[in-house]
Structure 1
Amino acid sequence: MPPHPSADRRAPQPPERDAVDALINRTQRLRGDVDAVRRDTVLVDEDDPRLRWQRALCDLAVHQLDDLGAHLGQLKQGLPSEAAEQFTAEAAGLAGEDSPAGEQPGSLIGRVGSAEWNLLTDEVRWSDELLQIFGRTSEEGPLSLDDLPSVLVPEDQPLLTALVTDCLVDGKPIDGEFRVLRTDGRIRTLHMMGEPVLDIDGCTASMWAVLRDVSALRRSQQAVHRTQESLRHQQHIARTERRMAVELQEAVLPPWRGSLSLPDQGPGSLDIAAHYLPSDSSALIGGGWYDAMELPDGRTLLTVGDLTGHGIQATSAMAMILGALRGMAVAGIEPGALMGHLNQLLETSIQPALGSAVCCRFDPATRTLEWAQAGHPAPLLFRNGAGRPIPQPDGVLLGAASGVAYEQDEVHLLPGDVLVLHTDGLARGTGNAHSGLRPGTEKLLGLAPRFAEARTAQECVRTVVEEFGGTERLDDACVLIARVGA
């Protein structure tokens, strides 16, 4: 039903067919591109808010392009068009999912209708499409302006009343949305645009309107909003957990920065420095640790290790392990037996995990290093400009097996020796299969000449950071270097 023009408005001129064809073709190509992206957005993990948000955005874009293409088809004033028909066929797959029975998928039939309410004769005329939108038969007929709010959901009725009143009394155009409860129990969201039609005296004679079913479009927009909120919530949780993990890590790892001398004085003291290197993704805070402390008997504890996992769970488990390790070392438990107790602790933990560790106990009086390891890279010993791994005693990963006995070994150190303890994440890389060394260990051993020239352990640490700090690293890493004094 064509609308009546207002007294001061010219009748619109039909657009050029070629221009509309060009717009339809451009919309069709864009719709195909967006739909291709939508198909590629495969939800491998339904619980991933980012993937759900991306898919919802694609769905919304396809819905909007479907509506745009259908509007452009109507601009052709019903003239047949292969482009419009092809667009309708391509849109049918998505639009058909949200179309009530009787609608033609991918078009505006059943989704856009018109109405006119004559205020002088009380005559009401609805298009067949509008009757279909409201779920009314031709026998039931259209609704008057007084009866129209009765089919709306209760909370939307005041909105429609206000829109109609403003239009009829103040001559304001109608532009608003409301939800209709159909007789079949389905709720449809309608967008209504209309205006008063004036008589020759400038008085309101009737009101006409175009109503569009935007239910599918609004559902897509709501899906985008929900997934976006879910993504923001997950990002907030991730940031909070990372902050907690960082704070816990900083609270547990040794408070000293720079160099540390243990014991403070006397022959055989160790010059110690350490550093933590984050992973490529700074969000991945792992369960790595390093520590050095003087024991009650005058000996020095040196340890590095790493637990599987990331985030607050890994960091809290690391805090538990490091606390237990410190306590047992202070109690005088030897490195091999200490590893066995740590293995039992991880095995019986509420949050099971695997871990690797090395624990050393250095006697400054004899310069003897007693040590044990659990599936961890051996310490590297640098002497006279050359480096080598210390032969390893047997030891499996912490938490991997029950009742495991960890061997303990010892090595005699000399003044000027440099001992490098590191976690596996530092030295990952391409190793030499013929040498039998762990991946990346050769690169560390290649730093021997620079370690020989260094005057302090801190200078050695700087050398390691220069070499490995810019390396792509999937996991965080720790390095601890001890230099034997005269």
Structure 2
Amino acid sequence: MPSPLFADRPAPQLPAHDAVDALIQRTRRLRGDMDTVRRDAALLDEDDPQQRWQRALCELAVRHLDNLGENLGRLRAGLPALPAPDAEHSEHGDTEDSGRGDDTGPDVPGAGSLPNRVGSAEWNLLTDECTWSDELYEIFGRPPGSAPLSLDDLPSVLVPEDQPVLTAMVTGCLVDSRPMDGEFRIVRPDGRTRTLHMTGEPVLDTDGCTASMWAVLRDVSELRRSERAVDRSGASVRRAQHIERTERRMAVELQESVLPPWRGSLRLPRQGPGALDVAAHYLPSGSSGLIGGDWYDAMELPDGRTLLTVGDLTGHGIPATSGMAMMLGALRALAVAGIEPGTLMGHLNQVLETSIQPASGSALCCRFDPETSLLSWAQAGHPAPLLFRHGSGRLLPPPDGMLLGAASRVPYEQDEMRLFPGDVLVLHTGGLARGGARGAGPEALLALAPRFSEARTAQECVRGVVEVFGGAERREDACVLVARVGA
């Protein structure tokens, strides 16, 4: 925008109207598409940091498109030159009209509209005159027709910490003939703070000396506010991700410290005939990084019998794993004390009912006597065990038992059955039957009967379960425990 005072500067050549019109139409179409995306983003969950960040990005994109559309409109209309100051008015010091310019008149598309209001100014170093466009008065909140701010007075309306920025820009332009490009904040008479982006350059006389300086100032407050919202939302997402990773690591460490450390097959009891060959596996969810409250356990009791248990507390993360640790510790203590499975379930229900963090869960507890081959078991709202014998499998009829934490002082029945050498008993948590390559439900487990009959160890049976149910499509985490009766 060269000054009209100096005719030796060549006039800028505007691009062809057809090309600008095409850009305007494409911008309008893109703006319409962005409105659709923004409406969808408005429906996102306000409490989700990731979705708040997405919504802030949508708002920022809209503001950039609005800015592009307005500037293309000005480019198409052409920017009228600033009027030359009236010599007679200048001579008599009449500043009421000399401070008015029509750089962005009402015919310019988008002129004066927020958030991208644009104005222009010129400071003549030879006459000490200032020329402001009407829009610049609006930007600074000054009455139209009042005296425009000189270069000496301009820093007085800036935020104090931004004044050196303006001083450096003006000095570089006037002394070193460098173009200006920077931002600063002003405080309007109404107390509002606005952020302005200023571009400009010096205008040289025939001797190459700086005669005046012109500038275009754009109010970018809303744009910068949107950018800050994106930054804040992004920081919130990063904090949430960091917290999630930390909680997951802590939950994993807690889970690993509580679940049995043994890997592969375990013989229980370690001495004598009729022992169980036991193996187990934890299957994490393929769709969530959160750790659940699933557990499995097998241990030899002081009287020579064997405890087998699986269970699942509701929830994820540290609350679920800490609750699981509490329940598994209580279950082990009750079993070591010789409490029967049915009575043990009632005690677990009371433990969960009186815990600080209310929760619910399911559990399955079995006790096997190698001398009599008798299996005693009880369940609390948990999937029943599956028994595989002679190449076929079936679900065991479950004794009555309500979900843990659902009601107070409810009875839990206990059932018994005899196992035989070669029998395979499969215990699992509910998440196992709700995922897997072969569909959901116990039917997928029962279909593994031929493979179990050929397996020589419990660990081979567990591998078969993991191959079917351990894929990436799993929706929930789960545990499986296999006990194979020895000869």
**Global fold match (TM > 0.5):** yes
The corresponding residue for 2:386 is 380
The corresponding residue for 1:459 is 460
Alignment partner for residue 323 of structure 2, among 317, 333, 337? 317
Residues 336, 104 of structure 1: alpha-carbon distance in 2 compared, 3 angstrom cutoff? farther
The corresponding residue for 1:108 is 111
Letter in 1 for 2:458: A
**1:152, distance to aligned residue in structure 2 (A):** 1.0
CA distance in 1, matches of 2:339, 2:61: 66
1:159-179 CA-to-partner distances (Å, cap 9, x unmatched) read 111211121122221111011
Residues 105, 237 of structure 1: alpha-carbon distance in 2 compared, 3 angstrom cutoff? farther
The corresponding residue for 1:289 is 295
Alignment partner for residue 246 of structure 2, among 234, 240, 248? 240
Matched, 1:403 2:409: yes
C-alpha contact (below 8 Å) 2:292/2:477 kept by paired residues: yes
Secondary structure at the aligned position of 2:277 is classed as strand
1:281-323 CA-to-partner distances (Å, cap 9, x unmatched) read 2403110000001111111110001011111111111111111
C-alpha contact (below 8 Å) 2:41/2:55 kept by paired residues: yes
**1:240, distance to aligned residue in structure 2 (A):** 1.0
**1:439, distance to aligned residue in structure 2 (A):** 6.0
RMSD of Structure 2 on Structure 1 (CA) = 2.2
Secondary structure at the aligned position of 1:65 is classed as helix
Residues 414, 19 of structure 1: alpha-carbon distance in 2 compared, 3 angstrom cutoff? same
Q: What is the 5 A alignment of 1:48-87?
A: 48-77=48-77
The corresponding residue for 1:440 is 441
**1:343, distance to aligned residue in structure 2 (A):** 0.5
Matched, 1:123 2:129: yes
CA distance in 2, matches of 1:357, 1:223: 47
CA distance in 1, matches of 2:233, 2:253: 30
C-alpha contact (below 8 Å) 2:77/2:108 kept by paired residues: no
The corresponding residue for 1:90 is none
C-alpha contact (below 8 Å) 1:461/1:481 kept by paired residues: yes
Instruction: Extract unaligned runs of 5+ from structure 2.
Output: 80-104
Instruction: Extract unaligned runs of 5+ from structure 1.
Output: 80-101, 431-437
Query: Bigger shift: 215-224 or 277-286?
Result: 277-286
CA distance in 2, matches of 1:61, 1:200: 45
1:142-185 CA-to-partner distances (Å, cap 9, x unmatched) read 10111101111121112111211121122221111011111112
The corresponding residue for 1:180 is 186
Where has structure 1 moved over 4 Å in runs of 4 or more?
4-9, 102-106
C-alpha contact (below 8 Å) 1:5/1:197 kept by paired residues: no
Secondary structure at the aligned position of 1:131 is classed as helix
C-alpha contact (below 8 Å) 1:369/1:412 kept by paired residues: yes
Residues 213, 17 of structure 1: alpha-carbon distance in 2 compared, 3 angstrom cutoff? same
**1:211, distance to aligned residue in structure 2 (A):** 0.4
TM-score by length of 1: 0.90
Secondary structure at the aligned position of 2:388 is classed as strand
1:252-296 CA-to-partner distances (Å, cap 9, x unmatched) read 111001111111121011100011111122403110000001111
Residues 104, 54 of structure 1: alpha-carbon distance in 2 compared, 3 angstrom cutoff? farther
Letter in 1 for 2:454: E
CA distance in 1, matches of 2:480, 2:108: 64
Secondary structure at the aligned position of 1:140 is classed as coil
Residues 324, 6 of structure 1: alpha-carbon distance in 2 compared, 3 angstrom cutoff? farther
Secondary structure at the aligned position of 2:201 is classed as strand
Alignment partner for residue 258 of structure 2, among 235, 247, 252? 252
Letter in 1 for 2:16: E
The corresponding residue for 2:47 is 47
C-alpha contact (below 8 Å) 2:77/2:109 kept by paired residues: no
The corresponding residue for 1:91 is none
C-alpha contact (below 8 Å) 1:71/1:108 kept by paired residues: no
Matched, 1:152 2:166: no
C-alpha contact (below 8 Å) 1:7/1:202 kept by paired residues: no
Q: What is the 5 A alignment of 1:131-210?
A: 131-210=137-216
Alignment coverage as a number of residue pairs: 457
Matched, 1:470 2:459: no
C-alpha contact (below 8 Å) 2:267/2:277 kept by paired residues: yes
Letter in 2 for 1:365: E
TM-score by length of 2: 0.90
C-alpha contact (below 8 Å) 2:435/2:474 kept by paired residues: no
Q: What is the 5 A alignment of 1:265-344?
A: 265-344=271-350
Residues 10, 406 of structure 1: alpha-carbon distance in 2 compared, 3 angstrom cutoff? same
CA distance in 2, matches of 1:402, 1:480: 29
Secondary structure at the aligned position of 2:223 is classed as helix
